[in-house]
Amino acid sequence: MRTTVGIIGAGPAGLLLARLLHRAGIESVVLEARDRAYVEQRQRAGVLEQGTVDVLRAAGAGARMDREGLRHDGIELRFDRRRHRVDFPGLTGGRSVMVYAQTEVCKDLIALQLAGGGPLLFGAEAVAVEDVDTPSPRIRFRHQGREDVLECDYVAGCDGFWGVSRPTLPAGVGQVFERTYPFGWLGILADVPPSHDELVYARHERGFALLSMRTPAVSRLYLQVPEGTKAEEWSDEEIWRELELRFETADGWTLRRGPVTQKSVTPMRSYVHEPMRYGRLFLAGDAAHIVPPTGAKGLNLAVGDVVVLARALAHEKETGSAELLDAYSATCLRRVWQAERFSYDMTTLLHRAPDATAFEDRLQLARLERIISSRAAETDLAEAYTGFPLA
Ligand code: APR
Ligand code: PHB
């Protein structure tokens, strides 16, 4: 099998890249290890920056998002039993975000690709990426019980944090910047209308909590839990009780309960691999970098990377110049590090580290007070949350 761009992974990065390349008249093949049902059911984040919304629309993948997505003009910060709303458009000159689940974005992109794009093979696991430092790289993969080879001009490693592309880089070509956190998020989906019409980020002595949503009838809620916690360790009753404690306000706000339909734990990590390119292999999305979910940046970073990559490949096709491809890693990393910084700031602002001192507690409260009392500090948060320029 032969194509121009061999794409490993059908998460948002791989699927959107295939779509953008198709529109630029560049052939690609997407190899996805899992089956379609698995990819379409995987629960992930759900906040799209304005720039991401614009890209999806321009790629022809915005119709259902525009019908079913929920435009959000702010978030609430909650601490000390008090509530403070951050007004995005008012602070940023009109920017907002869209709440539309990543799984739904993937479903829309898969449907488009299968209807009129290049090949998208499910159950096709890449096992090796070879010769990326030559003009003719190859991806070895297993599909329907057979070993096969995809020959291409470029390889896009869109295979997430646990994929095969990053580990194939020779030792010593890159550098890793990493930080792990001694806690994770226990997330639930519940069949109950969200108790607030915007996301609520709560800082509490017992730990962080987040109220989010999937639809007007489905709530998504998270609790900070110690690292290594298993979802089964928490009964539904214990989860609701703990959420109530952490969201409690002085003005008598109440949390609506409903049947829990899914429960899982997400670990937290900050990670960047530099550079994001080696020879003809380009890493994009979680394959190159991870952010803790507190800033809602993971999906938006993946989108930014593939926009830059698709543009660079189109430029090379039109002009023969590799200038933009050569700049790929540096261009993406500027935005990646801003998102790393913001996600780290939001995480340390709102979570309680197991070894936190009374001094650090007070500093957290002082940082929150600063955000709610200074328009400059609040604007800084609103600008970062609604998104940095794509490139
Ligand atoms: N061969 C083929 N496919 C693979 C392989 C492999 N060896 N290894 C992994 N994959 C697939 C995974 O099954 C997955 O579908 O690559 C895909 C990677 O998708 P994501 O993990 O969703 O990563 P990405 O597209 O970069 O999207 C980043 O996902 O984890 C969230 O918060 C993160 O929102 C962010 C987004
Ligand atoms: C989610 O809805 O899953 C979600 C929202 C905001 C975040 C993280 C996750 O910061």
Q: What is the pLDDT of residues 250-294, one digit of tens each?
A: 999 999 999 999 999 999 999 999 999 999 999 999 999 999 999
Mean pLDDT (whole number) for 235-243: 98
pLDDT, position 40: 95
Around ligand 1, the residues with Cβ closer than 6 Å are 8-14, 31-34, 39, 44-45, 102, 125-126, 158-160, 163-164, 285-287, 298-299, 302
> What is the percent of the chain where pLDDT is above 70?
100
Residue 385 known to be catalytic: yes
Q: How far apart, in whole angstroms, are the C-alpha atoms of residue 201 and residue 222?
A: 10
Catalytic-role residue among 100, 181, 328, 385: 385
Catalytic-role residue among 204, 273, 289, 297: 297
What rounded mean pLDDT belongs to the chain? 97
Asked whether the beta carbons of 362 and 306 are under 8 A apart, the reply is no
pLDDT, position 43: 84
- The stretches of the chain forming alpha helices (DSSP H) are 12-23, 36-41, 50-58, 63-68, 88-92, 102-116, 236-247, 298-319, 323-350, 358-373, 375-386
pLDDT of 7-58, one tens digit each? 999 999 999 999 999 999 999 999 999 999 999 998 888 899 999 999 999 9
pLDDT, position 391: 64
Alpha-carbon separation of residue 184 from 224, 225, 229 (angstroms): 6, 5, 8
pLDDT, position 45: 87
Alpha-carbon separation of residue 313 from 11, 281, 389 (angstroms): 20, 12, 20
Structural domains in the chain plus CATH codes: 5-73+97-177+269-346 (3.50.50.60), 182-268+354-386 (3.30.9.10)
Q: How far apart, in whole angstroms, are the C-alpha atoms of residue 270 and residue 341?
A: 9
Q: How far apart, in whole angstroms, are the C-alpha atoms of residue 243 and residue 208?
A: 9
- Write out the H or E segment, with its range, that includes residue 335: helix 323-350
CB atoms within 10 A of CB 355: 7
Mean pLDDT (whole number) for 347-368: 96
Residues written for the chain: 391
Q: How far apart, in whole angstroms, are the C-alpha atoms of residue 59 and residue 42?
A: 23
pLDDT, position 386: 97
pTM score of the predicted model = 0.97
The two structure tokens encoding residue 155: 């390889």
Asked whether the beta carbons of 285 and 226 are under 8 A apart, the reply is no
